[in-house]
Amino acid sequence: MSEWVIAILDNYRQMVGRSAVRQPIAAAFVARLRDGGTPLAMVLTVEHGTGSYAVAGFAAGAFGLAAALSRPVHGWLLDRLGQRVLLLTAGVLIERTGTSGTFLFTAGVALAGAVVLWARPAPPGS
Protein backbone atom coordinates (compact mmCIF):
# COMPACT_ATOMS: atom_id res chain seq x y z
CA MET A 1 0.00 0.00 0.00
CA SER A 2 1.21 3.50 -0.68
CA GLU A 3 2.23 5.72 2.19
CA TRP A 4 -0.62 8.19 1.74
CA VAL A 5 -3.21 5.38 2.03
CA ILE A 6 -1.53 4.15 5.20
CA ALA A 7 -1.52 7.72 6.57
CA ILE A 8 -5.24 8.14 5.84
CA LEU A 9 -6.09 4.78 7.43
CA ASP A 10 -3.97 5.70 10.45
CA ASN A 11 -5.95 8.95 10.81
CA TYR A 12 -9.21 6.98 10.75
CA ARG A 13 -7.84 4.50 13.28
CA GLN A 14 -6.93 7.35 15.62
CA MET A 15 -10.34 8.97 15.18
CA VAL A 16 -12.30 5.77 15.80
CA GLY A 17 -10.05 5.03 18.77
CA ARG A 18 -11.57 7.93 20.67
CA SER A 19 -14.43 6.90 22.95
CA ALA A 20 -16.47 9.98 22.06
CA VAL A 21 -16.48 8.91 18.41
CA ARG A 22 -17.03 5.15 18.78
CA GLN A 23 -20.58 5.35 20.11
CA PRO A 24 -22.04 7.59 17.35
CA ILE A 25 -20.30 5.54 14.66
CA ALA A 26 -21.66 2.28 16.12
CA ALA A 27 -25.16 3.76 16.40
CA ALA A 28 -25.05 5.02 12.80
CA PHE A 29 -23.89 1.61 11.60
CA VAL A 30 -26.71 -0.21 13.36
CA ALA A 31 -29.29 2.37 12.24
CA ARG A 32 -28.34 1.87 8.59
CA LEU A 33 -28.46 -1.92 8.59
CA ARG A 34 -32.04 -1.74 7.34
CA ASP A 35 -30.88 0.11 4.22
CA GLY A 36 -29.26 -3.04 2.91
CA GLY A 37 -31.69 -5.57 4.34
CA THR A 38 -35.02 -4.06 3.35
CA PRO A 39 -34.67 -4.45 -0.44
CA LEU A 40 -33.56 -8.08 -0.06
CA ALA A 41 -36.41 -8.87 2.33
CA MET A 42 -38.83 -7.13 -0.01
CA VAL A 43 -37.66 -9.10 -3.05
CA LEU A 44 -37.93 -12.40 -1.20
CA THR A 45 -41.34 -11.59 0.28
CA VAL A 46 -42.91 -10.25 -2.92
CA GLU A 47 -41.48 -13.09 -5.01
CA HIS A 48 -42.87 -15.62 -2.53
CA GLY A 49 -46.29 -13.97 -2.67
CA THR A 50 -46.48 -13.42 -6.42
CA GLY A 51 -44.10 -16.00 -7.85
CA SER A 52 -42.52 -13.33 -10.04
CA TYR A 53 -39.04 -11.87 -9.66
CA ALA A 54 -40.03 -9.12 -12.10
CA VAL A 55 -42.77 -7.88 -9.78
CA ALA A 56 -40.44 -8.27 -6.80
CA GLY A 57 -37.73 -6.24 -8.54
CA PHE A 58 -40.21 -3.54 -9.47
CA ALA A 59 -41.43 -3.34 -5.87
CA ALA A 60 -37.89 -3.12 -4.51
CA GLY A 61 -36.99 -0.49 -7.11
CA ALA A 62 -40.08 1.58 -6.29
CA PHE A 63 -39.24 1.36 -2.59
CA GLY A 64 -35.65 2.42 -3.26
CA LEU A 65 -36.78 5.37 -5.37
CA ALA A 66 -39.32 6.44 -2.76
CA ALA A 67 -36.70 6.14 -0.02
CA ALA A 68 -34.26 8.25 -2.04
CA LEU A 69 -36.90 10.91 -2.64
CA SER A 70 -38.06 10.97 0.97
CA ARG A 71 -34.63 11.22 2.62
CA PRO A 72 -34.15 14.96 1.93
CA VAL A 73 -37.60 15.67 3.37
CA HIS A 74 -36.83 13.49 6.38
CA GLY A 75 -33.55 15.38 6.89
CA TRP A 76 -35.34 18.71 6.58
CA LEU A 77 -37.90 17.63 9.17
CA LEU A 78 -35.11 16.50 11.49
CA ASP A 79 -33.43 19.89 11.16
CA ARG A 80 -36.65 21.82 11.76
CA LEU A 81 -38.45 19.70 14.37
CA GLY A 82 -35.64 17.77 16.00
CA GLN A 83 -35.03 14.10 16.57
CA ARG A 84 -37.18 13.91 19.69
CA VAL A 85 -40.36 15.04 17.89
CA LEU A 86 -39.83 12.67 14.96
CA LEU A 87 -39.05 9.71 17.23
CA LEU A 88 -42.14 10.42 19.32
CA THR A 89 -44.26 10.70 16.16
CA ALA A 90 -42.81 7.44 14.80
CA GLY A 91 -43.48 5.75 18.15
CA VAL A 92 -47.10 6.86 18.12
CA LEU A 93 -47.50 5.70 14.49
CA ILE A 94 -45.97 2.32 15.30
CA GLU A 95 -48.21 1.92 18.34
CA ARG A 96 -51.38 2.99 16.52
CA THR A 97 -50.87 1.34 13.13
CA GLY A 98 -48.45 -1.49 13.83
CA THR A 99 -45.98 -0.21 11.23
CA SER A 100 -43.18 2.31 11.28
CA GLY A 101 -43.57 5.96 10.46
CA THR A 102 -40.66 5.71 8.02
CA PHE A 103 -42.52 3.02 6.09
CA LEU A 104 -45.70 5.13 6.02
CA PHE A 105 -43.74 8.22 4.94
CA THR A 106 -41.91 6.30 2.21
CA ALA A 107 -45.15 4.67 1.07
CA GLY A 108 -46.77 8.12 0.89
CA VAL A 109 -43.95 9.47 -1.27
CA ALA A 110 -44.20 6.39 -3.52
CA LEU A 111 -47.96 6.84 -3.84
CA ALA A 112 -47.56 10.54 -4.63
CA GLY A 113 -44.96 9.70 -7.29
CA ALA A 114 -47.25 7.08 -8.82
CA VAL A 115 -50.13 9.56 -8.95
CA VAL A 116 -47.91 12.15 -10.66
CA LEU A 117 -46.68 9.61 -13.22
CA TRP A 118 -50.15 8.27 -14.02
CA ALA A 119 -51.85 11.66 -14.01
CA ARG A 120 -49.59 13.35 -16.53
CA PRO A 121 -51.05 13.70 -20.01
CA ALA A 122 -49.91 11.51 -22.86
CA PRO A 123 -47.27 13.05 -25.15
CA PRO A 124 -48.60 14.66 -28.34
CA GLY A 125 -49.00 12.25 -31.23
CA SER A 126 -49.37 9.13 -29.11
Residues 3-34: pLDDT tens digits?
Answer: 888 888 888 888 888 878 888 777 777 777 77
In a domain, 14, yes or no: no
pLDDT-derived band at 125 (thresholds 50, 70, 90) equals: low
pTM over 0.85: no
In a domain, 126, yes or no: no
In a domain, 85, yes or no: yes
In a domain, 74, yes or no: yes
Residues 64-118: pLDDT tens digits?
Answer: 888 888 788 878 888 888 878 877 777 777 677 666 556 666 666 566 555 555 5
pLDDT-derived band at 55 (thresholds 50, 70, 90) equals: confident
Q: Is the pLDDT of residue 119 over 70?
A: no
Residue 36 belongs to domain spanning: 32-119
Task: List the alpha helices (DSSP H) in the chain.
Answer: 3-16, 19-31, 33-50, 53-81, 83-97, 101-119
In a domain, 124, yes or no: no
In a domain, 93, yes or no: yes
CA angle 52-63-105, nearest 5°? 140
In a domain, 15, yes or no: no
In a domain, 21, yes or no: no
Q: Count of domains in the chain?
A: 1
